[in-house]
């Protein structure tokens, strides 16, 4: 999943590591998309999007309008930005609509409200191979599902007013357009982890790569994978709504939860790049722990261990992120303050929908979080 709010992609020096090949490839794809968008920008005619939700007769929120975006759509464009309304088409695949509706109906009430507060929800076609689109996406590679989803709020100069809040979920989450091909939650989360660290899972890689497990079989479903994807990208929109109240204006890291959200977890919160690519780290990633920055679980340590084939060391790093006294919702949380907010929000959404178990290396993130004081406090910043 790529992320964030605004246009111009900024590649940090940390992204030059070999593990960033995936992200770098995507960045190139986006740049290519920019040039094609340039030609179509003048001709594109913005039209109104129908809001994603309606309210039923009993007052219940219903998901009713989803759109598909072409592969050429570039949410990170600036002066040549084409709003999604100009190029979106209604989702034609009824099976995907049904799949999204099932996820929406199973979602927590706060997530429903947040989804319905968006200006548009899209299935993206970027990364779909052979010209396929979001209605029947043939994933370019098994991992593109996570690289082609995003959430952002428009900002100047994309538009100068009425800043839209959008999320796009990769069509690769429904390979060939079939919900039966959507991975269940633990598979989805494991693949996300492998993509994040470029964990070698092939023949010459880690013979026993870490994998998410869950004892909650009733909720360890593809529906919960979709809830996780929807929540994550919505979280990126909410990050900007909360920490940059005026689109394009100043950041205010004290604006959310009385300014307490980050204080035990991050020594310093940098203003993020305009586009936080999946796997991108804050520019000073080793300063993320206020009280004990040297616990051996920096992102760099895990990458180094993997590069050396020290899979046990890399797993120790993961364990150190999720062990019982820690306060992180997931390994991705430690990459940047915005991902920390987003992953905490996602964990709250999964738990709020009823998930009771999600473990990595025997560290059950959900089952133990009531005993994790800081994580529990951070989760308490979001409505139940």
Give contact residues for Zn ion (rule: CB under 5 A): 1, 3
CB of 261 to Zn ion, least distance (A): 16
Cα distance between residue 88 and residue 84, in whole Å:
6
CB of 184 to Zn ion, least distance (A): 21
Q: Toward Zn ion, which CB reaches closer, 171 or 179?
A: 171
- Could you give the 3-state DSSP secondary structure of residue 54? strand
Residue corresponding to tokens 């770098």: 24
Residue corresponding to tokens 């999604």: 84
CB of 201 to Zn ion, least distance (A): 21
Contact 259, 243 (CB under 8 A): no
| Cis ω before 299 (30° cut-off from 0) | no
Q: Toward Zn ion, which CB reaches closer, 154 or 233?
A: 233
CB of 63 to Zn ion, least distance (A): 22
Q: Toward Zn ion, which CB reaches closer, 288 or 311?
A: 288
CB of 186 to Zn ion, least distance (A): 19
Q: Toward Zn ion, which CB reaches closer, 243 or 311?
A: 243
CB of 312 to Zn ion, least distance (A): 28
Q: Toward Zn ion, which CB reaches closer, 229 or 305?
A: 229
What does DSSP assign to residue 318?
A: H
Q: Nearest to residue 162, comparing CAs of 207, 119, 110?
A: 119
Q: Toward Zn ion, which CB reaches closer, 80 or 149?
A: 149
User: Which residue has the CB atom at the shortest distance from Zn ion?
Assistant: 3
- HSE at residue 51, side-chain half, CA atoms within 13 A, is 11
Phi–psi pair at 168, nearest 5 degrees: -130, 125
Vertex 119: Cα angle to 118 and 125 (nearest 5): 95
- Could you give the 3-state DSSP secondary structure of residue 306? helix
């Amino acid at each position: 999943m790529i992320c964030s709010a605004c246009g111009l992609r900024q590649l940090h020096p940390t992204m030059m590591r070999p593990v960033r090949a995936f992200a770098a490839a995507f960045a190139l794809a986006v740049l290519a998309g920019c040039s094609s968008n340039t030609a179509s920008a003048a001709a594109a005619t913005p039209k109104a999007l129908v809001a994603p939700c309606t309210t039923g007769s009993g007052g219940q929120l219903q998901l009713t309008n989803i759109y598909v975006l072409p592969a050429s759509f570039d949410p990170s464009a600036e002066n040549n930005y084409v709003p999604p309304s100009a190029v979106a088409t209604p989702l034609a695949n009824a099976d995907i609509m049904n799949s999204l509706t099932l996820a929406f109906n199973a979602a927590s009430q706060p997530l429903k409200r947040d989804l319905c507060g968006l200006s548009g929800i899209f299935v993206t076609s970027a990364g779909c191979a052979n010209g396929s689109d979001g209605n029947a996406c043939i994933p370019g590679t098994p991992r593109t599902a996570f690289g082609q989803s995003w959430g952002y709020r428009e900002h100047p100069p994309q538009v100068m007013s009425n800043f839209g809040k959008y999320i796009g979920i990769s069509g690769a989450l429904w390979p060939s357009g079939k919900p039966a091909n959507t991975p269940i939650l633990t598979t989805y989360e494991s693949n996300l982890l492998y993509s994040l660290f470029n964990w070698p899972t092939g023949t010459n890689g880690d013979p026993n790569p870490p994998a998410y497990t869950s004892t909650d079989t009733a909720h360890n479903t593809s529906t919960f994978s979709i809830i996780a994807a929807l929540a994550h990208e919505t979280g990126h929109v909410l990050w900007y709504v909360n920490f940059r109240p005026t689109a394009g204006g100043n950041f205010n890291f004290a604006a959310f939860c009385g300014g307490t959200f980050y204080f035990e977890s991050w020594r310093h919160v940098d203003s993020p790049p305009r586009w936080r690519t999946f796997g991108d780290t804050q520019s000073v990633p080793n300063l993320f722990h206020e009280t004990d920055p040297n616990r051996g679980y920096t992102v760099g340590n895990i990458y180094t261990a993997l590069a050396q084939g020290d899979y046990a060391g890399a797993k120790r790093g993961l364990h150190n992120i999720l062990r019982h006294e820690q306060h992180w919702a997931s390994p991705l949380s430690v990459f940047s303050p915005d991902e920390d907010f987003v992953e905490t929000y996602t964990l709250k959404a999964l738990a709020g929908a009823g998930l009771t178990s999600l473990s990595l290396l025997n560290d059950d993130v959900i089952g133990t979080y009531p005993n994790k004081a800081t994580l529990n406090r951070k989760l308490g910043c979001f409505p139940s």
